[in-house]
Amino acid sequence: MKKVDTSNIIEFVRQLGATGVTLDHIISAVQETTDSIVRALTGNAGGVIVLYGCVNSGSGANYIISAGAVWYNGEIFLVDAFTGTTGGTTIVLSIVTTYDVGDPVKYSNNQNYYTHAIRKIAFSVSASGSGISDFSAVTRYSPQTSSNWTNLVLVNSWSSAADPVPQYRLINGMVELSGLILGGSAATFVNATPGLIPFSNSQMEVTGVDTTTSTPIPILIDTDGSLRLAGIPNLTHVFDLNGIRYRVQA
């Protein structure tokens, strides 16, 4: 990440004469960090994503939208509450800029300039496409978190080797597997399951254990959420799924 190297600063001897470049560097470092976190959590690289709030409790053409926060183009914006009525138009989002109440501030040339910008995203009633996004087109971040276990639907004569039966659950966007399975007639033991699709939308490999031989065994998660043993495993053995975790799509 971007940082400011302060090793050349010596107290009472040598100070940094902060410039616009330095301040921009610090701002960029913060923006890159928050942008990366949001992208990692949502898996979305574009558009407007509602992080919290911005819920419409109105009906029909009457909108009563709560305050909240959204991510757009690498930045997080606060959004004020809004009430409005459409009629042949729609609700759009736009970036608006105001300044801190202490602005303008005096610079070294004895001139006053507006400096401390407050950038927000605001709702308004306008023509579709006139803002950065229509309200109807935004997506909403919904972290996948569930403490409830769901039974895995085993196929190809695979079966549970012990109680409880093989299951999975979602925890903060991660899927966790559990249970022991007894080999069947083919390597695939779970067919396509939406809740098991990898976050990267590409095939990934995790590691289970062949308890019969006490050796690790690769398990492939395909892009449709199906699970199968890699290679040519001994399908008569018992395999341990406990502790397998990976990130899934939001």
- Within this chain, do residues 154 and 133 fall inside the same structural domain, yes or no? no
* Distance (Å, whole) CA 211 – CA 120: 56
- Within this chain, do residues 231 and 176 fall inside the same structural domain, yes or no? yes
Query: Residue 33: inside a domain, yes or no?
Result: yes
Distances (CA, A) of 232 to 84, 186, 198, 213: 63, 10, 23, 15
Query: Residue 234: inside a domain, yes or no?
Result: yes
Q: What is the CATH number of the domain that holds 173?
A: 2.60.40
Measured at the CA of 37, the angle between CA 46 and CA 119, to 5 degrees, comes to 65
Q: Which residues contact 241 (CB under 8 A, 6 or more apart)?
A: 166, 177, 178, 179, 180, 181, 208, 219
* Distance (Å, whole) CA 229 – CA 98: 58
Higher confidence at residue 67 or residue 144?
A: 67
- Structurally, the chain folds into a number of domains equal to 3
Q: Which residues contact 30 (CB under 8 A, 6 or more apart)?
A: none
Query: Residue 145: inside a domain, yes or no?
Result: no
Q: pLDDT exceeding 90 applies to what percent of the chain?
A: 43
Structure tokens at 146: 């569930």
- Within this chain, do residues 113 and 50 fall inside the same structural domain, yes or no? yes
Query: Residue 3: inside a domain, yes or no?
Result: yes
Task: Give the model's confidence band at 145: pLDDT under 50 very low, under 70 low, under 90 confident, else very high.
Answer: low
Higher confidence at residue 96 or residue 214?
A: 96
- Within this chain, do residues 236 and 186 fall inside the same structural domain, yes or no? yes
- Within this chain, do residues 164 and 85 fall inside the same structural domain, yes or no? no
- Within this chain, do residues 58 and 23 fall inside the same structural domain, yes or no? no
Query: Residue 164: inside a domain, yes or no?
Result: yes
Question: Helix H segments across the chain?
Answer: 20-42
- Within this chain, do residues 53 and 1 fall inside the same structural domain, yes or no? no
Candidate from 13-17, 67-71, 95-99, 195-199 with smallest mean pLDDT: 13-17
- Within this chain, do residues 57 and 93 fall inside the same structural domain, yes or no? yes
Which of 140, 162, 191 is the last residue in one of the domains? 140
Model pTM score = 0.58
* Distance (Å, whole) CA 148 – CA 4: 46
Query: Residue 32: inside a domain, yes or no?
Result: yes
- Within this chain, do residues 28 and 66 fall inside the same structural domain, yes or no? no
Which of 140, 162, 189 is the last residue in one of the domains? 140
Cβ distance 184 to 159 under 8 Å? yes
Measured at the CA of 172, the angle between CA 168 and CA 174, to 5 degrees, comes to 45
DSSP one-letter code for 34: H
What is the span of the domain harbouring residue 182? 150-247
Q: Which residues contact 209 (CB under 8 A, 6 or more apart)?
A: 215, 216, 217, 239, 240
Cβ distance 227 to 190 under 8 Å? yes
Which of 112, 140, 168 is the last residue in one of the domains? 140
- Within this chain, do residues 165 and 233 fall inside the same structural domain, yes or no? yes
Task: Give the model's confidence band at 231: pLDDT under 50 very low, under 70 low, under 90 confident, else very high.
Answer: confident
- Within this chain, do residues 162 and 172 fall inside the same structural domain, yes or no? yes
By three-state DSSP, how is residue 7 classified? coil
- Within this chain, do residues 156 and 211 fall inside the same structural domain, yes or no? yes
Task: Give the model's confidence band at 148: pLDDT under 50 very low, under 70 low, under 90 confident, else very high.
Answer: confident
